[in-house]
Chains A and B, each alone.
Chain A
Amino acid sequence: MGLRAERVSWRVGGELIVDGVSLEPAQGETVGLLGPNGSGKSTLLRLLSGVRPASSGVVSLDDVPIQRVGRRNVARRIGVVEQQADTEVDMTVHEVVGLGRVPHRRPWAGETAEDERAVRSALESTGLADKEGRCWHTLSGGERQRVQIARALAQQPRELLLDEPTNHLDIRHQLELLGLVVRLPVTSVLALHDLNLAAMFCDRLLVLRQGRAVVAGTPGEVLTPELVAEVYGVRAEVTADGPEGRPSVRFLPGEPVEQGTASRG
């Protein structure tokens, strides 16, 4: 049940960008996608949201292939937050969040009480209730990302897909934003760059390299010096002294040494 990807691939011009990746997040779980630039994280998210059809393999929602669910129905079910969203239109926070009601609106009809309720609840759960009249162009990067998350929540999704939502944010806003995502009562899949943030906030991690899944599991299982060396080509120390005994990654200068000898954690 829920959102599931089975051995999905996506190719462009003969090149495999995503290569046979499977993913099935459990209900309410937060899954982090890790991997260097160009490893296929964003593309995998696009396949999961059905915006791009998979070249092979199947993405399904409750066991129905996503391409057969219909775009509107998918949008009522899955919320997407892109890396960086911007517009030239002068819009208030309330109006941007209201865009999340587009898949629920009927042609000709205006906003219903149900729409207003969904927008209000999205504003409240993202802590934006007091900013609803602010203009989009006056918001900081962190506020904009929160507004986009509120917009996605107004779609009343059961799954939320986020593409590097902490990019361009300062440390405090990164922590705040991920804390918010984890607390939301939805299944989230998010692409992340920061290994420590991924370890701190995600229930499970999937690591990609050149479009292939390298390893999947809990942060403790996945984040090892060997993996960091293999996937990122960087020397690192991993200790178990993060919050709740989660792994904590410390990068070290110099080339990674042969596998198995650089580790002590």
Chain B
Amino acid sequence: MSVSRTRSGGVGTTLLWVCGLVLLTLSVAFTITIGPAEIAVGNVWAVVGEHLGLGDSGLSLIREGIIWNLRLPRTVLAAVCGAGLGLCGVVMQALLRNPLADPYVLGISSGASTGAVAVVVLGVGSGVATLSLGAFLGSLCSFVLVLMFGHLVGSAPDRMILAGVAAMQLFSALTSFIVMSAADAEQTRSVLFWLLGSLGGTGWEEVWPCLVVLLVVLAVCLLKAPALDAFTFGHDAAAALGVSVTRTRTSLLIATALLTATLVSAAGAIGFVGLVLPHAARMLVGPGHRRLLPTTVLVGAIFLVWIDTVARTMLDPQEIPVGVMTSLIGVPAFAVVLYRSRKTRRS
């Protein structure tokens, strides 16, 4: 009984969010100070303050540049990616009724990579907008493919994952093929970026679109939080609870595809964040989406900020792509979730 009590305590959840926001802000400020150039937390505040019009930071232009143009956008993008991938994971897990659903595992991220790479290599237009559009089309293709394939082989969680694996392989191969066929050494090296995910070399122009899309999709999902709850016992049950199933499902899946695409065009395909973090958040606040969505977003943001810090400093000066780190952590967690879902189905 105590379980449901602590879970539904409204004050407890608000407190958790405030703590989460504070922790996120502190994490961003602190991780920025980690790295080859000596920077103190105070310097970070000063530079942010200066850009908010609160007076001069008193730092040299170089140091200010390192903080404002290199480390801050990268860290903020890490937070946005963690938040966004976690959000995609929660929504997909609810709508597909699959605890293993995640934009990476289902091949949506790979589809987005292929779309973005096609735009870059084939030189169709230029700029962040076309890149994102290409990624969006790629992710939609992949989503439709996986849903159709999943429909054919039966929608049991593990079957759906098989469809995702196939899509991931297909789109990864396509991405490599497009990049290799372009036969440009510079671009060939970038195949790693698209397939593994990396936050290196990020500027503000990559951060803003991601942040805007994240906030819009989060708002839409929060609006639809009761409908997401209604899917717990299946589509017919959701319909009987007053949800327009097809409309809700289509609009929210397109929203997650759009968010995935925007994140992938900025940071490549970072794996497993969307799979693991919703489960962690569920342990904190329970399955109700009104609490689960913001909690996952916060947990995801904090998680990826720290993971990226480890990824860029562990083998200093060599940098590990952040996607490698998330996969190293994500795969064992994937195994645990798979094991637990098998157990619940047997009982």
Interface residues of A (CB under 8 A from B): 46, 49, 51, 71-76, 78-80, 82, 85-96, 98-100, 102-103, 105, 107-108, 110-111, 132-133, 135, 137-138, 155
Contact: B286 with A95, CB < 8 Å? Answer: yes
A87-B233, A133-B3 given; 5 more Cβ-contact pairs under 8 Å = A71-B239, A88-B98, A102-B227, A107-B225, A110-B10
Contact: B287 with A90, CB < 8 Å? Answer: yes
Closest CB of chain B to A68's CB: distance in Å? 14
Bound CA–CA A61/B3 (angstroms): 40
Q: Mark B3-20, 1 if CB is under 8 A from A, else 0.
A: 111011010000000000
Closest CB of chain B to A101's CB: distance in Å? 8
Classify the secondary structure of A's interface with B: mixed
Contact: A107 with B226, CB < 8 Å? Answer: yes
B223 contact from A74, A107, A133, A138, Cβ within 8 A: A107
Near A by CB (< 8 A), chain B positions 178-229 give: 222-227, 229
Interface residues of B (CB under 8 A from A): 1-5, 7-8, 10, 97-99, 157, 222-227, 229-230, 232-234, 236-237, 239-244, 282, 286-288, 290, 341, 344-345, 347
What are 13 sample pairs from A and B whose C-beta atoms fall under 8 A apart?
A49-B240, A51-B240, A71-B243, A75-B240, A75-B242, A78-B240, A82-B237, A95-B8, A98-B288, A102-B226, A132-B1, A133-B2, A155-B241
Given A71-B242, A95-B287, A99-B233, check contact A133 B97 (CB 8 Å).
Answer: no
Closest CB of chain B to A210's CB: distance in Å? 23
Bound CA–CA A116/B233 (angstroms): 21
Closest CB of chain A to B256's CB: distance in Å? 18
Closest CB of chain A to B240's CB: distance in Å? 4
Contacts of B240 in A (CB 8 A): 49, 51, 75, 78-80, 82
Contacts of B230 in A (CB 8 A): 99, 102
Closest A residue to B240 by beta carbon equals A80
Contact: A92 with B3, CB < 8 Å? Answer: yes
Contacts of B227 in A (CB 8 A): 102
Closest B residue to A78 by beta carbon equals B240
Closest CB of chain A to B249's CB: distance in Å? 14
